[in-house]
């Protein structure tokens, strides 16, 4: 027959190491081994949550704040140009043949990966003659020049890569390994330019 710790103590015996209450509390209310173990487990769990939970929360918060360009985003001037202020909507008719404008999707300028280079390669109405590419160089991620070169190319100031806007931004010089990603665009009835979707490839360094 098994004698419990309570029965043993009623019989005048002292609790042994096998009795639950031996570990709970001694006669002087001192911290028992069981409570010490619980306290250590709680402390370890808290430390684990802090070590892994807080960074995970921070990363998720960061991800929520990064907004990528997408269909329906109106394109606005990245910097003041041609009498327009930064943030003003870009009129398709304001971009002359052989010139370029750098733009951000409205409300998403915090993400530099959204920077767009809009180029007019030929005269036309609506989106005819207009093309748009990522303004982030595919070599090491520098921002390309806002103005085209004398040859009508998109140039990079860092290592002199050049892209041909009339030929899907193909690399025509320098170390860039691939063309600038293309951005599909639409021109609205009021003449403003909007994105018709995301870039067709990875922006910047692959
Ligand atoms: Fe553009 Fe190197 S970053 S050429």
Condensed to tens digits (0 to 9), the pLDDT of residues 129-158 reads: 999 999 999 999 999 999 999 999 999 999
Q: Where are the alpha helices (DSSP H) in the chain?
A: 5-10, 20-24, 33-48, 54-65
Ligand 1 pocket residue status of 158, Cβ below 6 Å: yes
pLDDT at 3 over 60: no
Pocket-testing residue among 135, 145, 156, ligand 1, by greatest number of atoms within 8 A of Cβ: 156
Report which of 110, 130, 120 is spatially closest to residue 185, judged by C-alpha positions. Answer: 130
Nearest to 168 by CA among 181, 159, 156: 181
80, 60: one domain: no
CA of residue 100 to ligand 1 center, whole Å = 19
Residue appearing with tokens 């971009």 = 95
Residue 111 burial (10 A CB sphere; 0-12, 13-18, 19+)? middle
How would residue 81 be classed by pLDDT, with cut points 50, 70 and 90? confident
Asked whether residue 206 is domain-assigned, the answer is no
Whether residue 173 has its Cβ less than 6 Å from ligand 1: no
134 burial type by CB count under 10 A (0-12 exposed, 13-18 middle, 19+ buried): buried
> What is the arithmetic mean of pLDDT over 187-201?
97
User: d(Cα 103, Cα 186) in Å, to the nearest integer?
Assistant: 14
pLDDT at 42: 60
* pLDDT recorded at residue 133: 98
Q: Are 75 and 92 in contact (CB under 8 A)?
A: no
Give the pLDDT of residue 206. Answer: 86
**Per-residue pLDDT averaged across 71-76, rounded?**
98
CB atoms within 10 A of CB 75: 25
Q: Are residues 87 and 60 in the same domain?
A: no
pLDDT category of residue 32 using cuts at 50, 70 and 90: low
Query: Does residue 115 share a domain with residue 48?
Result: no
Residue 200 within a domain: no
Q: Flag whether 156 is in a domain.
A: yes
Domain that holds residue 185: 75-195
At 24 the three-state DSSP class reads: helix
Condensed to tens digits (0 to 9), the pLDDT of residues 100-123 reads 999 999 999 999 999 999 999 999
Which pLDDT score is estimated for 175?
Answer: 98
Within the chain, strands assigned E span 75-77, 100-105, 116-120, 130-134, 154-155, 162-164, 170-173, 185-187, 193-195
Give distance in angstroms: CA of 144 to centre of ligand 1.
8
Global confidence as pTM: 0.71
The pLDDT mean for the chain works out to 83
51 has pLDDT over 60: no
172 is a domain residue: yes
Structure tokens at 129: 């003659």
Q: Does position 195 have pLDDT exceeding 80, yes or no?
A: yes
> Which stretch of 32-46, 55-69, 124-138, 167-181 has the lowest confidence by average pLDDT?
32-46
Report whether residue 175 contacts ligand 1, using a CB cutoff of 6 Å.
Answer: yes
Name the residue with the closest Cα to ligand 1, atom 4.
159
Please tell me whether residue 64 adopts helix, strand or coil conformation.
helix
Both 179 and 95 in a single domain?
A: yes
Report how many domains make up the chain. 2
Both 190 and 97 in one domain: the answer is yes
Atom of ligand 1 nearest to the CA of 140: 3
pLDDT at residue 92 above 60?
yes
205 C-alpha to ligand 1 centroid (Å): 10
């Amino acid at each position: 027959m098994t004698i419990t710790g309570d029965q043993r103590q009623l019989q005048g015996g002292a609790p042994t190491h096998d009795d639950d209450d031996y570990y709970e509390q001694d006669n002087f209310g001192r911290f028992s081994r069981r409570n010490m173990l619980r306290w250590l487990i709680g402390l370890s769990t808290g430390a684990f949550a802090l070590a892994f939970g807080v960074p995970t929360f921070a990363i998720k918060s960061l991800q929520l704040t990064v907004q990528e360009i997408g269909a329906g985003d109106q394109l606005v001037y990245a910097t003041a140009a041609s009498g327009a202020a930064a943030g003003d909507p870009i009129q398709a008719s304001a971009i002359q043949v052989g010139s370029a404008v750098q733009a951000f999707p409205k409300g998403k300028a915090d993400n530099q990966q959204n920077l767009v280079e809009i180029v007019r390669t030929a005269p036309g109405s609506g989106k005819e003659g207009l093309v748009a590419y990522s303004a982030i160089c595919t070599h090491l991620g520098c921002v390309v020049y806002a103005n085209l070169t004398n040859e009508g190319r998109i140039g990079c100031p860092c290592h002199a890569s050049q892209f041909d806007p009339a030929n899907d931004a193909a690399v025509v010089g320098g170390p860039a390994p691939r063309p600038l990603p293309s951005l599909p665009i639409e021109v609205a009835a009021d003449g403003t330019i909007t994105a018709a979707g995301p870039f067709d490839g990875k922006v910047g360094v692959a």
